[in-house]
Structure 1
Amino acid sequence: MAADGQAPSILGFPHRPEWGPAAHRKALAGHLRRCRENAGLAPRQVARCIDTSEATISRMETGRTSFKPAEVERLLDVYQVRDRRERARIADLVQEAARPEVWQPYANETPLDLRPLLAMEPAARRIISYEPQLVPGWLQTEEYAETVIRAVHPTKPAREIAERVALRMQRIQMLRRTDSPPVLLAVVDSEVFRRPVGTPGVMYRQIEHLLALLEELPYQLHLRIAPLTVGAAGAIGHPIVHLRFFTTEYLPDMVYLEQYEGAIYRDKPSDSERYLAILNNLCGVANPAEQTRALLEQALATWR
């Protein structure tokens, strides 16, 4: 970022492949916008300088298009960015931004509204989620996920269902990586463990899976169960996910609001803080994390 009176710098954003290409693309997009503003140029002027359209400049500055190395080099010349370290870091980010997204192997069955969340969650330092209806997607077993997906898409062929399940199964891997894994704090409504999804065996094995994950990932996974007594605090009818990133000055918080058909994203600071307050309130009224294992074991007994 730029201090007062200084040119903006991207050196504070590290080259971290495990964060995924979307994070690098988003950080670079914001940096290019700041460089243009620091140079005192309007998008229209810049577009003329590099023989492109104003719409292309807008897409580059919002991360909605791929970056062509030669085009970025020309932009840096226009913005008079001469520092070799800055240009080298930008070249690294351009290269990283061009890599395939985590969802692309499953592109045929990845909903458009889910792609931004899947692309950005590997770069998160901390994820807070609230799920009032189901076990959160990161934590589902394969058979539980298949049952849920079939219920939502009863006419899809088995191959497409399997692809969606495979996509969901790989999301937990980011918590298992050795380099800067996110921390997931998941708040789940207690009724999730009473609501039958598939057979009693499916529910039993799902709860066993949660217990195993808590044992495997004691530092990365924190699961809290909200009882019915939370009242109005738990009356939110849809899942919420709040992402906070390792480099908040380059990557602002992201909020994902899931709807039955689609999703809404919020990244304005006022919206982010509002939803973070809602999630913090839910965390405050949910059962303490130390009780989660005992509560899951009680739920497990009901499905024997």
Structure 2
Amino acid sequence: MPNSPLVPTVRRRRLGASLRRLRNEAGMTLDSAAGAMGWKGPKLSKIEGATQSIRPADVDALLTVYGVEDTRVRDALGALARDAGKKGWWQTYSAIVSPTYADYISLETDAETICAWSPLIVPGLLQTAAYARETIGGVTTSRTPEEVAALTEVRMARQSVLSRPGTAPELWAIIHEAALHQRFAVRPTTMREQLRRLLDVSEMPNVTVQLMPLDSTPHPGVVGGFTLTGFPQPMPSVVLLENLSGATYVEGDDATPFARAFERIRAAALPVEDSLARIAELEEGHRK
């Protein structure tokens, strides 16, 4: 129902933010833009605020009002409008996947690039099932064994995005070496298998893995990990910040400092070839 209030999902917020920026670039007020569409100002305000949906045809008409001729922009925003309320495979796990987690999976699905700085854990897209199961079980304070198993399935299913034909995102993951010294008492071979997984997945053309050495110089990443997801223009980037209480998103212009921080973190990390050599060395150590 186009006029009903909606929960502002990340997809709707991205669409609303893009439309707001294009309206401002066109030098139009809410009332003037809405008037050109035959709407009242509050309707456009709700669309930009992600509490009301908008049809792809109306997105196309609005972009014409704003003088946007770039077909890539028009196609990207039209697709986002079509998919804003679309349910993905993760809805099967709605009993255990929180709305914020579902939002992030949709971001991963839409992403053109994913830049992950992970100082304490291997990024989810690169984990083995055993590693995922033990880490999910270790950090949770309230999940049952059945829920841990289901969340592990979700994490494994997310990884299919990396091998999606034609539209797989570019993943650049920087992992602190300390994360690769984690001990797993339940299944001692877990870390060795995880290290081998990192080496194997790094051979994919869209995946790059770097290691932050234990003796690295100070860099912006010392304040915590984050994942920066990028999308085709004009859609803004989104940053995911995780903690025990859930996830927080940083969007639009507020994501720019994280992009700059990632570049400095990348510069402080070992070069890619040296990173893979160190991971191979650690993996060999687990065989002795």
TM-score category (smaller protein): 0.7 to 0.9
Name the residue aligned to 1:188.
175
Backbone CA RMSD of aligned residues: 3.7
Q: 1:74 to 1:162 in 2, by over 3 A?
A: closer
The yes-or-no answer on 1:161 pairing with 2:148 is yes
Number of aligned residue pairs: 270
Matched, 1:227 2:216: no
* 2:18–2:236 CA contact under 8 A, matched in 1: no
Q: What is the alpha-carbon distance in structure 2 between the residues aligned to residue 65 and residue 101 of structure 1?
A: 20
Q: CA deviation at 1:99?
A: 2.1
Unaligned runs of 5+ residues in structure 1 are 1-20
1:291 alignment counterpart: 274
The yes-or-no answer on 1:27 pairing with 2:11 is: no
Could you tell me how far 1:265 is from its partner in structure 2? 1.9
Query: What is the deviation of 1:159?
Result: 2.4
- Residue 291 of structure 1 and its aligned partner are, at CA, apart by 1.7
Q: 1:190 to 1:94 in 2, by over 3 A?
A: closer
> Which stretches in structure 2 are left out of the alignment for 5+ residues?
1-8
Distance in 2 (CA, whole Å) between partners of 1:93 and 1:147 is: 36
Structure 1 residue 134: Cα displacement: 0.8
Q: Does 1:279 align with 2:262?
A: yes
1:254 aligned to which of 223, 238, 241: 238
SS in 2 for 1:257: strand
Q: Percent identity?
A: 22
Q: Aligned ranges for residues 212-223 of structure 1 at < 5 Å?
A: 212-215=200-203, 217=204, 219-223=205-209
Which whole-Å CA distance do the structure 1 matches of 2:245 and 2:134 have between them? 18
Report how far residue 211 of structure 1 moved. 1.6
Q: Which aligned pairs between 1:1-304 and structure 2 lie closer than 5 A?
A: 23=11, 26-27=14-15, 30-31=18-19, 34=22, 40-42=29-31, 54=42, 57-67=44-54, 94-197=81-184, 198-215=186-203, 217=204, 219-233=205-219, 236-247=222-233, 250-269=234-253, 271-304=254-287
CA–CA separation in structure 1 for the residues paired with 2:252 and 2:17: 17
Say if 2:128 and 2:197, in contact at 8 Å, map to a contact too.
Answer: yes
Secondary structure of the residue aligned to 1:256 is strand
Distance change in 2, residues 1:173/1:293 (3 Å): same
